[in-house]
Structure 1
């Protein structure tokens, strides 16, 4: 069975401070027994893992370098140690060449020099094993008694992210208490540094508590270690409170600490807090002459754009992009453009579009649609229609979806529609007005007026659009039409402009024809629809659910047996309409019963209407109706 996952977060530790992550990991996970050796004394309870082993408690995401990169990592480490040796010419160079180099060459080096070398190595990176070996040599070979300096070096060595461990540091601290070795402020500082790399809520609080009891004031480095430890421990609110607290004091907060918060909070989506820290960081940069890293600005613009955080995008764009400090890629610029469109910021959107066009990139329809959206939000119809004309001028073809933002404005009031017509009339003198611009006005006119007014406006389309109507123009008219004679007029118009009907066109025609007294034309349109082909291949078009029900309703009213064919055609295409058809039959039956009671119909009422659909086979639902007729 899989083991249960226990999440130990800040709330858990606040409620139960005695919880030890290392102890829980031993209880939950399988025991491991790495090869270990004592360091300070034979009776010591502290064990340090050798090179081949790993510490018992590890965090996801950290690990030893892979085999393929071990050689390059080792070369980098040796080069780093050599640079340390150059900074410390008083110490023998052999001490800074790795464990294997000095393990047999320590006899002639004075003990005082070894102590100094340990202190230097403990503050360096990737020197865990070297410090352990030197301490072991002093205790075993030089017979040095365990003291605060050696313990401090061992604790500080546990800062190493590969071999270090908060559990070992805690054990070293407890061993000092057993040996009555006085803990110095430097030891507590080392503990805080360890917990900043290997989070341990209990150990950190223990160190702070003992420092307070001994009147040890945390230094600036201690405060920073505490904050970093809280961040690693997912104690984000506490870490932010600590940062705000030290920012209000005279402590010089390093700029890299702010950038750690920016990266951490930005990735987590804490955008309001991230923006607040960013503004404070920029203010500090003006004083300390430490400008914000361009990589940080680019990262924040990316995460802000990803989540459409307008305030953050606007701030970085004005302070970093516009002055030319960073040049974001196209994907980030597109996120900025979309966000500017959603918030109606025309200057920001224009700046983003100018950046894209300056890269010799062809602007697509969705780039311009963002500008249409912005001008429509600002109720600036002239600029919105102008953008549509510019789109057509570039060779792109705006459609009905490009004008939805304009339609939301026009449907508010008839005066807006009249104003839009005046704008189109004026623009037609300077631009080639696309059909989409006229169509949205035509659609809004149908909202405010009867169909005859809409049809009259259509007849004047040449006054606005030189190219005349398109297929969407007729779809708008068909969606509002209810009279059969108008169908024939519009079909003739489509033939005049060489516009071929599509599936949606036939669907509109069938719906309108089914509303007429003579609905035979609906079946004619249906046959044309089913017989239509493209490049010699059948299109397999079929009417929509609403049009199918409208035609079936008309057939039931007229007791037309072709209703059964329509039902079967819908079923073959996965369109379930049985419930609606049954409701139509029930409604017809009630009407006839009511009419019979009033004497308006003969008493011989067809019994077929009382037959429910669920008791008759699908192929015979309406057969009984036709037989009785």
Structure 2
């Protein structure tokens, strides 16, 4: 006997029970109590010799009368006819081989296999798995009715006959491509084995009736009509039975002269649940045809419609079906409610689907786990992480911690992808830390980044330990995440310790590695002082990298100015004995330097440590020289800078043109030339213009301003001379035009 939990989940589904006297009962499970007492409806009772069949409306079976070794619940179509048949599980293969001793442990394993099959099938139909669909177009004509799809006046038989000639179903009635022979042979073999298991489960139905459209008319002629009807009932619970149902209905109407009845319509409507060949449009037209012929639509018809619209979304058809059910006082059964929920999910009405799920949970019906899994998959892909996390927690509360590993792995992947921190920590602590789940490296790196962003140093360390145990070499970005986590909590010592560990691991942290530390240090001078004292202590235990010294130097310049930073630089040999200053160190100091004496000292240090100036260093040197009275060295550095050979490895320069100074340095040098009436300002302007850096307007403003100042000075001087030489005859002086005047005239032209 199957476990009680699986029996409860199987309520409303087909159930095969073998009694101890050899009789078998095949019907729908209605109720199961704690003592395994079963209540079945629509039961077919088979004698031990399998030669007599009796139909019973309902039967009550005590648990001690069943054969515990062979009673099982064959899975039919689930809430929306999407659960794979139980005959596909490996446990039934064992039963076929007669290994009955292994059946005792089948219960829980079968439940897991069934649940996985249900999820895979549902995901495929929800569009989360790639699946090629061929669509058939049909023209429907007719009058007005309660359903949006017009009825076909060809009749039920013609409807079935058109399937064979339709191009929509080439795989059912035509050959397959020779390029797929291997796959087709394997698929055919698996299909044949599946049909054998289905036929063995229903011994009163000849096996050829399950073989779809391939069964010949001569063979069907030998089968009683009642048996064909029984086969149609069984085919409603068989996967990929669309062709079989259409073939049998066509045969009954065309060859046996059967009048269209409710069962035939129900079978055709339910056959449209097939994800490849089914259609909500066809199902709606069949219902309208029934109404047009004056036939009553039973709850089973509406149930079939709900299942079809769950696979092939049609909001109007579903709404009209529910309205008709309400008017007829029909209530959807649990399978119908699940079909409604799945259909709403496929329609994109996620809030309404979640509301229906809550209503279903409050009802006395036990929701199957796969329904929650579908919500988890859909919401996870859409990024509704708070909702999917709540569903996961609710499922753990209801069904316990033994969930499918694929659910945990999927959620950790999407949560880490979108940095949903609560979900990440919940799954990591519950599944990864105990060693139950092993996420891939990509997911682990995403978790690392999310933990760094939220300042969770413990989680970052756990991820790094996981990667190290796998033999992965930790790189800069792994350690930088840990630094970021420490700086968010203002843990100065730990952040600098990580830098030292990186140096010991053979990595070379640079300025990008220390940006989180700089953001922390710039908040207060006290943090900078603490960082300096930490470096003094760490140098006794580690080799302090120059990047650690540079970030403290940068914060010192910000808070205390150039003089304090210049004094700190003199301690670089003591703190970073193995590395020494690098180009970044001199960049930090040169940006704040304004005195020639300090500049010359830094130039000597550059030569002492063998550091070659780059474009930024030359740019700062030009800016500093432009501030001095003797600005001639600025042109010397500009000449060195523009030499094509001045480029270093990794710098890209234009052919034959070398580097060029920044706009700020160019304006500083141009301003100095204007004040000194140096015509070389034209050379600077021309070169800037050639390199796409126009400073003409700024220089023109500087020239005009200098010209006005010079004119004011001359006027003031003339007034002073006029007052001192009163009574004397003034001799006019002819002044030659100055260089500044010539520059103004040239710029005006």
Do 2:503 and 2:544's aligned partners in 1 also have CA atoms closer than 8 Å? yes
Partner residue of 2:334?
Answer: 220
1:407 aligns with 2:518: yes
Distance 1:180 1:600, change over 3 A: farther
1:53 to 166, 170, 175: 166
1:589 deviation in Å? 4.9
Instruction: State the distance in 2 between where 1:262 and 1:589 align.
Output: 76
Q: 1:268 and 1:589, CA in 2 relative to 1: closer, same or farther beyond 3 A?
A: farther
> Counterpart of 1:106 in 2: which secondary structure?
helix
Give the C-alpha shift of residue 41 in structure 1. Answer: 8.1
Alignment map for 1:251-330 (pairs within 5 Å): 251-286=365-400, 291-330=402-441
Paired residue for 1:515?
A: 627
Cα deviation 1:117-169 (Å, max 9, x = unaligned)? 01111222211121111111111211111111111101000001111110111
Distance 1:383 1:72, change over 3 A: same
Kept in 2, the 8 Å contact 1:371–1:387? The answer is yes
Deviation at 1:581, TM superposition (A): 3.5
Q: Which moved more, 1:358-367 or 1:567-576?
A: 567-576
TM-score normalized by structure 1?
Answer: 0.85
Deviation per CA, 1:416-439, whole angstroms, max 9, x where unpaired? 221111111111111111111111
1:454-473 equivalences under 5 Å are 454-467=565-578, 468-473=580-585
Structure 1 partner of 2:671:
553
Could you say what secondary structure the match of 2:392 adopts? helix
Partner of 1:341: 452
Kept in 1, the 8 Å contact 2:455–2:486? The answer is: yes
Q: Whole-Å Cα distance in 1 between the matches of residues 631 and 739 of structure 2?
A: 23
Residues 435 and 469, structure 1, Cα contact 8 Å, conserved in 2:
yes
Distance 1:596 1:213, change over 3 A: farther
Aligned to 1:27: none
- Structure-1 residue corresponding to 2:350: 236
Residue 24 of structure 1 is matched in structure 2 by none
1:451 to 1:521, Cα distance in 2 relative to 1, 3 A = same
Conserved 8 A contact 2:514-2:548: yes
Aligned-partner Cα distance in 2 for 1:319–1:426 = 39
CA distance, structure 2, for counterparts of residue 582 and residue 274 of structure 1? 65
Distance 1:147 1:352, change over 3 A: same
Q: Give the structure 2 partner of residue 154 of structure 1.
A: 268
Q: Deviations over 1:356-401 (max 9, x none)?
A: 1111111111111111111111011000111111111111111112
Q: Structure 1: how far apart are the matches of 2:152 and 2:249?
A: 8
Number of the residue aligned with 1:8: none
Distance 1:402 1:92 in 2: 74
SS at match of 2:221: coil
- Distance in 2 separating the partners of 1:605 and 1:244: 96
Give the number of aligned pairs: 577
Is 1:392 matched up with 2:494?
no
1:529 counterpart residue number: 641
- Spell out, residue by residue over 1:446-503, the C-alpha distance to the aligned partner (whole angstroms, 9 max, x if none): 1111321111111122332213322211111101111112111111111111211112
Question: What corresponds to 1:581 in structure 2?
Answer: 699
Q: Residues 386 and 427 of structure 1 are in contact (CA less than 8 Å); yes or no, is this contact kept in structure 2?
A: yes
Could you tell which deviates more after superposition, 575-584 or 589-598?
Answer: 589-598
Deviating more after overlay: 65-74 vs 103-112: 65-74
Gaps of 5+ in 1: 1-29, 57-63, 612-620
Q: Equivalents in 2 of 1:603, 1:243: separation in Å?
A: 101
- Higher gyration radius (CA): 2
How much has 1:105 moved relative to structure 2?
A: 1.0
Partner Cα distance (2:303, 2:202) in 1:
23
Select the residue among 170, 184, 197 that pairs with 2:298.
184
TM-score normalized by the length of structure 2: 0.72
Higher mean C-alpha displacement, 240-249 vs 418-427: 240-249
Tell me the equivalent position of 1:98.
212
Residue 72 of structure 1: how far off its partner (Å): 4.4
The CA deviation string for residues 31-56 of structure 1, in whole angstroms up to 9 with x for no partner, is: 96699xxx998556983552453569
How far, CA to CA, are the matches of 1:458 and 1:238 in structure 2? 66
- C-alpha RMSD over aligned residues: 3.2
Matches within 5 A, 1:199-210: 199-210=313-324
Can you list the C-alpha shifts for 1:504-530, whole angstroms capped at 9, x where unaligned?
Answer: 211111121112121111111111122
* Selected match of 1:446 from 530, 536, 557: 557
Q: Distance in 1 between matches of 2:322 and 2:620?
A: 77
Q: Distance in 1 between matches of 2:634 and 2:185?
A: 80
Partner of 2:594: 482
Q: Shift in Å at residue 187 of structure 1?
A: 0.9
Q: 1:436 to 1:205 in 2, by over 3 A?
A: same
Q: Rate the CA distance shift 1:122–1:603 in 2: closer, same or farther, 3 A.
A: farther
SS at structure 1 position matched to 2:627 = coil
- Equivalent residues of 1:484, 1:513 under 8 A apart: yes
Partner of 1:163: 277
Give, in whole Å, the separation in 2 of the partners of 1:469 and 1:234.
Answer: 60
Q: Distance in 2 between matches of 1:317 and 1:382?
A: 27
Partner of 1:193, secondary structure, is helix
Q: What is the distance in 1 between the residues matched to 2:745 and 2:584?
A: 40
In 1, the alpha carbon distance for the partners of 2:317 and 2:138 equals 24
Point out the more displaced range, 222-231 or 546-555.
546-555
Task: Identify the residue that residue 360 of structure 2 maps to in structure 1.
Answer: 246
In structure 2, the gaps of 5 or more residues are 1-134, 141-150, 170-174, 650-654, 720-732
Q: Equivalents in 2 of 1:535, 1:406: separation in Å?
A: 29
Distance 1:94 1:600, change over 3 A: farther
Once the 2 structures are TM-superposed, how far is the Cα of residue 101 of structure 1 from its aligned partner?
2.5
Aligned to 1:18: none
